[in-house]
Amino acid sequence: MATQDTAIAPKEERTVSLQRSIYDPGYVNAMSHFYRGELGRIMVWRQRLDMTTNWAITSSTAIITIAFSTREVPHIIFFFNLAIVAVLLWIESRRYRFYDAFRARVRMLEAHFLVPMVMENRDLLQGEWKKLVCEDLILPCFKITKLEAIGRRMKRNYMFIFILILIAWLTKIFLHASAPITDVVSFYHALRIGHIPSWFVAMVFVGTFISVISITIYVSKRSSGEISEFGTHRSLWRI
């Protein structure tokens, strides 16, 4: 009988401790400040993401404007445009991994701390979320791979930038070709610029298009993304 009482006692103590912790002013105050701090972090990284996207749009706009300003500007300028945007995409994907790592902490706090507080349901506090958050604070780690980060940024913004560059490239070739383009052969010869052969230009063009579409589709199928398109009871939010 004494053994059963001692076995039940720790469980009752844990229950009482859990009930106290969820409404304990010190605990709530510390978690609120922690949530506010993590939210500030993701806002900073969110601004850095917008900054690189703005650089990509601004540089592409400037290069396209220069390319169509005069016939003498060769269409090789779009090589540099693709290279600049690719470098910015690489930088932004790295920044996105940091943003996603801190966003994961915020979502963990929202799901396991704020939701139980709002619902006044202590059962939602079950699980090892506190242990996971503490481990991530001690040894921070990324939550997604580099390829997934590239794919997400490609899906959101850079896919449209790359496609716009390719369309502008084609338009430049047709408008400012040295000879009239009447068929596929003449178009292929129009791709040549200086000592750069036509096959190389065609390979870069087609390779860029296939890479952009493939990475976007691949990551879209394997990733749920940041937020769902429609949530539960979405009609209630139409206020």
Q: Is the pLDDT at 94 greater than 90, yes or no?
A: yes
Give residue 154's domain range. 15-225
Q: Which of 110, 101, 78, 60 is nearest to 204 (CA)?
A: 78
Give the predicted TM-score (pTM) of the model. Answer: 0.80
Q: Is the pLDDT at 35 greater than 50, yes or no?
A: yes
Q: Which of 27-31, 77-81, 111-115 has the highest mean pLDDT?
A: 77-81
Give the angle 115-20-102 at the CA atoms, nearest 5°: 40
Total structural domains in the chain? 1
| Integer Cα distance of 44 and 102 in angstroms | 11
| Integer Cα distance of 208 and 170 in angstroms | 13
Q: Would residue 234 count as lying in a domain?
A: no
- Cβ-proximal residues to 232 (8 Å cutoff; 6+ apart), any chain: none
Whole-number percent of the chain with pLDDT over 90: 36
Q: Is the pLDDT at 136 greater than 90, yes or no?
A: no
- For 36-93, the DSSP string reads HHHHHHHHHHHHHHHHHHHHHHHHHHHHHHHHTT-TTS-TTHHHHHHHHHHHHHHHHH
pLDDT of residue 122: 67
Looking at per-residue pLDDT, the higher value among 20 and 168 belongs to 168
pLDDT of residue 13: 55
Looking at per-residue pLDDT, the higher value among 6 and 170 belongs to 170
H runs (alpha helix) in 68-192: 77-109, 115-119, 129-138, 146-153, 159-175, 184-190
Q: Would residue 238 count as lying in a domain?
A: no
Q: Which of 56-60, 128-132, 226-230 has the highest mean pLDDT?
A: 56-60
Separation in Å, CA 143 to CA 11, 12, 95, 198, 220: 34, 36, 13, 42, 16
Q: Would residue 232 count as lying in a domain?
A: no
Q: Would residue 212 count as lying in a domain?
A: yes
The helix/strand/coil state of 223 is coil
- Could you read off the pLDDT of 214-238 as tens digits, one per residue? 998 888 887 766 665 555 566 665 5
Q: Would residue 8 count as lying in a domain?
A: no
Q: Which amino acid is at 65?
A: T
Q: Would residue 131 count as lying in a domain?
A: yes
CB distance 161 to 85 below 8 Å: yes
Q: Would residue 5 count as lying in a domain?
A: no
What is the pLDDT confidence band of residue 10, given thresholds at 50, 70 and 90? low
Looking at per-residue pLDDT, the higher value among 165 and 16 belongs to 165
Distance of CA 16 to the CA centre of its chain: 42
Q: Round the average pLDDT of the chain to a whole number and report it.
A: 82
For the ranges 17-31, 102-116, 143-157, the lowest mean pLDDT is seen at: 17-31
Over residues 77-105, the mean pLDDT reads 93
What is the pLDDT confidence band of residue 168, given thresholds at 50, 70 and 90? very high
CB distance 88 to 56 below 8 Å: yes
Q: Would residue 154 count as lying in a domain?
A: yes
Length of the chain: 239
Q: Which of 2-16, 78-92, 166-180, 224-238 has the highest mean pLDDT?
A: 78-92
The helix/strand/coil state of 193 is strand
